[in-house]
């Protein structure tokens, strides 16, 4: 999801999405450690970027209030 699309969401929706992304990253890392390989290693990088993007937008919204 693009940053401008995320800015339209409410703070609670952003926090819920952040929790989901963190859970997904944890699952990717767990599967990588158990299996040694994952189907698409780029998903870890993309998930990290999404988490960073969400944190940035949450901080922007919290600072504006």
Those residues whose C-beta lies under 8 Å from the C-beta of residue 24, and which sit 6 or more positions away, are 47
**Predicted pLDDT at 3:** 84
User: Residue 65 and residue 58: Cα distance in Å, rounded?
Assistant: 11
**Residue pLDDT, tens place only, 9-21:** 999 999 999 999 9
Q: Is the pLDDT of residue 1 over 90?
A: no
Q: Does the pLDDT value for residue 39 go beyond 90? A: no
Regarding pTM above 0.75, the answer is yes
| Domain boundaries 3-64, corresponding CATH code | 1.10.287.310
Residue ranges of domains in the chain: 3-64
């Amino acid at each position: 999801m693009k940053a401008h699309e995320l800015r339209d969401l409410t703070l609670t929706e952003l926090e819920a999405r952040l929790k989901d992304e963190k859970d997904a990253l944890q699952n990717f890392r767990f599967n990588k450690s158990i299996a040694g390989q994952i189907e698409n290693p780029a998903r870890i990088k993309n998930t990290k970027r999404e988490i960073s993007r969400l944190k940035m937008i949450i901080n922007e919204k919290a600072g504006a209030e």
